[in-house]
Amino acid sequence: MPRLANNRLVKQLQRETESLFYGDTAIYYATPSPNAGLDTYGQPTQAITGTTIPCSFNDKPNMEKWAEYADIQGIAGEIRFESLTPDKGGRFEITKRWDEADTIPHIFEIVGIRQRGVFGYICLLKAVKI
């Protein structure tokens, strides 16, 4: 019985964290699976659809914390979320910051991942040119 109460408490904390701290919105595009198929040029096909998630985007990450996880050259920001499990190489499109729709698409690729336990993940991002 205590384990069930712990699970409920964890879920409640996750909901509260999401509503209080995740004021931005992004679309997550996972890396293509090895058997996703190839395009006409022999390159793996990219996922067309993404998953919209609440998040918190920071364009000024603390680089000292990331030094052991990834090469910090060209870093553009970090993102926190708890809705899904990310893959290195996955991409985020930031669509809303501070409750305002973003008119310029900002696409980022995951170059480092730190697990945050109950409260999700934090990922280091580099900008992607389209």
User: Each residue's pLDDT tens digit in the chain (130 positions)?
Assistant: 456 567 777 777 666 666 667 788 999 998 766 666 777 787 766 656 789 999 989 888 888 887 776 667 778 899 999 878 898 889 999 988 876 766 566 899 999 888 776 668 999 999 887 6
Total residues found in the chain within this entry: 130
Q: What is the number of domains present in the chain?
A: 1
Global pTM reads 0.70
Per the listing, tokens 């699970």 go with 7
Domain that holds residue 89: 2-127
Tell me how many degrees the CA angle 103-98-10 measures, rounded to the nearest 5: 130
The DSSP 8-state label assigned to residue 61 in this structure reads: -
From the CA atom positions of the chain, what is the Rg in Å? 16
CATH of the domain at 85: 2.40.10.270
Nearest-angstrom CA–CA distance, 117 and 5: 18
